[in-house]
Chain A
Amino acid sequence: MNGVKLTQLGIKDSRDLLNKKEISATELTNAYIQNIEESSKLNAFIETTFDKALTQASKADKIIGTDSQKSLCGIPLGIKDLFCCKNVKTQAASDILENFIPPYESTVTQKLWSEQAIMLGKLNMDEFAMGSSNETSTYGPVINPWKSTSSDDSLTPGGSSGGSSAAVAANLCTGATGTDTGGSIRQPASFTGTVGLKPTYGRCSRWGIIAFASSFDQAGPITKNVTDSAIMLKAMSGFDPLDSTSAKIDVPDYEQELGKDIKGLRVGLAKEYSLQNGDSEATKKLEESIKILKNMGAEIVEVSLPHTEFALPTYYVLAPAEASSNLARYDGVRYGHRAKLDTNDSILELYEKTRSEGFGTEVKRRILIGTYVLSSGYYDAYYKRAQKVRSLIKNDFDEVFKKVDIILTPTTPTSAFPLGSKGTQDPVEMYMNDIFTVPANLAGLPALSLPVGLDELGLPLGVQLIGNNWQEPLLLNTAFNLENTLAFENNPKKWWA
């Protein structure tokens, strides 16, 4: 293996070695199991399914090299706890789903298993995917494998898919599923030096993914590199009759699209997405990416998305409104937590006590604000108005995509921050983290975060590529070209084992 550990390889390289029979799926799975067992300090995995993994691996070893072999045969993956997996405890990192065992499998995970991938277990996340730092999880926060060169503070791996991003960065799985409602795949990817892709709304089925804000939620992969993202996205995508918003559009072979020339590609730079500190390493890395694209023959075009400043306020009306409706189902009657009741308590007390005990502070806050903006007398001023502003934000993108093929922005305003350092006094401070990622969710557009290097503190930085609807092939190919030149290595110092 020339000094490279098996678990550093990722999806494509593992697949190639499996195909050449240089390694077995069982050997690969055992290597990941060992890494996971040594990683309790990271708090990334909250439920492991090692017996299932080894059974799947043994099956894969019999299939590899035969006609029955599928695209992910023998590839060990981690699954965000938002995906229902049949007979595997699934709680969306919430107490209200205490010991919930789904009697069915989500479409996306079923697709992965149908492609013969191996399930290592469930990954930690913010409660119901509401958070940007992983600190709202009932299991406690995930710790970022990366540390600053100037302090020993535990850093956030981002959120809400922080377990997924940390697990991929720390070599606990070849790749992981995430979901992205306002940046929950891209921001954690940016904070951990991994590749995170939020597909076009409708690309992946939402069936069996515990709902947060249904008109925003999309599943996508978090991986070590762009090729792995392409491979995993193909397996996750496709029409599903069980999700009426999933699209009847063919799924391309994304991997085949990689490596194409990007000469003549029109890349937009939006002035509304600028970083505050012009001298920072983050700005330099962004400029370096622009230079690389220019050298490859891309045309750089200044563009404007004038309603960007309204994106976060729009999101924080609409997403909580949808959440308040989606989370109404947690009533203590059929599954999950049920409050202990006093003798004379009615069904109203059952609902109120259960929900009060089961939901965490941030989730309650969002249900309450969502209920408020939907309530009589306030609906027009908040919800209806925000739906109209959402149209204006989408129109901005429609106009820009007449002039450019792709938009390049920073993924986040900063690199990973210390746990406990944001949003403790003011919830809006945490919301500001999603400033560059939320617009793509409002418009339903695909967007990818690619690691571009390290900042002054030695922490990973990401750039975001936003494409028009169904332009995942273009996003992936542009990212692939950038990745080859940047040659970023994701190798955080292994302090946790």
Chain B
Amino acid sequence: MEIDTETVLKIARLSRIRINEGESADIQKDLNRIVEFVKKLGEINIDGIDEFNFGKTNIEDMRKDSVTIYDNTDDILKNTKNKNQDFFTVPKIVE
């Protein structure tokens, strides 16, 4: 199996998803199943092939780098209880 228990915990940490001991084995099994499935890509010769992009015809010009004023801070703050004046609050980061 390509993904061992340690790797599961490592990618969970990178993903900022806490995994309980009870679910770790199932997750490991599912991830290995998916990895086994996508390993088929190893059968193909990709020498000299460029990575996919939509090309110039589809991607349009960037918009102008100009300031637009966004003034409905109140509506945005309505989505949280964790606020102080116009700021979101989080656990203490710096001692």
The 8 closest A-B pairs by CB, nearest first: A103-B75, A335-B79, A390-B52, A387-B51, A356-B18, A352-B18, A388-B46, A351-B16
B71 CB → nearest A CB, Å: 11
Q: Does A444 contact B (CB under 8 A)?
A: yes
> How far is it, in angstroms, between the C-alpha of A310 and the C-alpha of B39 when the chains are bound?
10
Find the residue from A317, A368, A387 having the highest chain B CB count within 10 A.
A368
Give every chain A residue within 8 A of B30 (Cβ-Cβ): 365, 427
Give every chain A residue within 8 A of B61 (Cβ-Cβ): 248
Check B91 against A310 for contact (C-beta < 8 Å). Answer: no
Nearest chain-A residue to B78 (Cβ)?
A101
**Which of chain A's residues 98-149 have a Cβ closer than 8 Å to chain B?**
99-101, 103
Check A347 against B46 for contact (C-beta < 8 Å). Answer: no
**Which of chain B's residues 26-66 have a Cβ closer than 8 Å to chain A?**
27, 30-31, 33-35, 37-42, 44, 46, 49-52, 54, 57-63
Q: Does B1 contact A (CB under 8 A)?
A: no
Interface residue stretch chosen among A39-47, A273-281, A378-386: A378-386
> How far is it, in angstroms, between the C-alpha of A310 and the C-alpha of B46 when the chains are bound?
12
Nearest chain-B residue to A393 (Cβ)?
B52
What is the number of residues of chain A that contact chain B, defined by CB distance less than 8 Å? 71
Nearest chain-B residue to A432 (Cβ)?
B37
Q: Does A346 contact B (CB under 8 A)?
A: yes
Contact of A313 with B62 at beta-carbon distance under 8 Å, contacts A352-B18, A391-B49, A394-B52 already known: no
Interface residue stretch chosen among A154-162, A237-245, A255-263: A237-245
Q: Does B84 contact A (CB under 8 A)?
A: no
> How far is it, in angstroms, between the C-alpha of A101 and the C-alpha of B80 when the chains are bound?
10
Binding site for A on B (CB under 8 A): 3, 7-8, 10-12, 14-20, 27, 30-31, 33-35, 37-42, 44, 46, 49-52, 54, 57-63, 72, 75-76, 78-80, 82, 88, 90-93
Contact of B44 among A239, A349, A392 (CB under 8 A): A392
Nearest chain-A residue to B60 (Cβ)?
A248
Q: Is the interface of B mostly helix, strand, loop or mixed?
A: loop
Interface residue stretch chosen among A30-38, A369-377, A447-455, A486-494: A369-377
Nearest chain-B residue to A245 (Cβ)?
B59
Check B15 against A335 for contact (C-beta < 8 Å). Answer: no
Nearest chain-A residue to B59 (Cβ)?
A245
Check B37 against A431 for contact (C-beta < 8 Å). Answer: yes
Contact of A335 among B38, B72, B80, B90 (CB under 8 A): B80
Check B38 against A313 for contact (C-beta < 8 Å). Answer: yes
> How far is it, in angstroms, between the C-alpha of A250 and the C-alpha of B64 when the chains are bound?
21
Contact of A387 with B52 at beta-carbon distance under 8 Å, contacts A313-B37, A317-B38, A382-B38 already known: yes
Check B88 against A336 for contact (C-beta < 8 Å). Answer: no
Check B11 against A371 for contact (C-beta < 8 Å). Answer: yes
Check B34 against A333 for contact (C-beta < 8 Å). Answer: no
Q: Does A95 contact B (CB under 8 A)?
A: no
Binding site for B on A (CB under 8 A): 99-101, 103, 201-202, 215, 239, 241, 244-248, 307, 309-310, 312-314, 316-317, 324, 328, 331, 333-336, 338, 341, 345-353, 355-356, 359, 364-365, 367-369, 371-373, 375, 381-382, 384-392, 394, 426-428, 431, 442, 444, 469
Nearest chain-A residue to B93 (Cβ)?
A347
Check B54 against A444 for contact (C-beta < 8 Å). Answer: yes
A-B contact pairs, 11 of them (CB 8 A): A101-B78, A244-B62, A245-B58, A248-B60, A335-B79, A353-B18, A356-B20, A365-B30, A375-B14, A386-B38, A394-B52
Check A314 against B31 for contact (C-beta < 8 Å). Answer: no
Check A367 against B17 for contact (C-beta < 8 Å). Answer: yes
> How far is it, in angstroms, between the C-alpha of A386 and the C-alpha of B38 when the chains are bound?
9
Contact of A369 with B93 at beta-carbon distance under 8 Å, contacts A352-B18, A364-B17, A394-B52 already known: no
Contact of B41 among A215, A317, A336, A347 (CB under 8 A): A317
B87 CB → nearest A CB, Å: 11
Check B34 against A310 for contact (C-beta < 8 Å). Answer: no
